[in-house]
């Protein structure tokens, strides 16, 4: 009989894929409170990657993230710390989008 796999350490196959794609969103790197906001200015040439990045940053559903990327410019997240806001902009830029850090609307 083969060795029993620990359920928490499965990183390959269907179970590993499911664990990677159903990670809790928004990721903790994008939730520190502060006074900055992230504005998605332009989606770019890779809309699928941008939708995935928006979902990671906001925790929105696939439909909401797709609608947001189609209606640019749009505020994706507000009341973020300086580090969280720039981390979100970096993730969006890696996905091919153009994004800016702006003051949160409540702070204007």
Q: pLDDT tens across 55-71, in order?
A: 989 988 889 999 999 99
Q: Percent of the chain at pLDDT above 90?
A: 55
Nearest to 53, CA basis, from 9, 19, 83, 95: 95
pLDDT at 81: 92
This prediction's pTM = 0.74
Task: Name the helix (H) or strand (E) containing 99.
Answer: strand 98-103
Q: Evaluate whether 56 touches 25 at the Cβ level (below 8 Å).
A: yes
Domains defined along the chain, listed by start: 33-107 (3.30.1390.10)
Residue 44's region, left for phi above 0, alpha for psi from -120 to 50, else beta, is left
């Amino acid at each position: 009989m083969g060795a029993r796999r620990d359920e928490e350490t499965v990183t390959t196959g269907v179970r590993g894929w499911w664990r990677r794609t159903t990670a809790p969103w928004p990721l903790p790197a994008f939730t520190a409170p502060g006074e900055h906001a992230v504005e998605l200015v332009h989606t770019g040439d890779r809309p699928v990657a941008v939708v995935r990045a928006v979902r990671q940053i906001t925790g929105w559903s696939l439909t909401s993230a797709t609608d947001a990327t189609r209606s640019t410019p749009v505020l994706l997240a507000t009341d973020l710390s300086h580090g969280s806001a720039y981390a979100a902009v970096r993730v969006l830029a890696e996905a091919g989008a153009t994004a800016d850090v702006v003051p949160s609307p409540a702070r204007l």
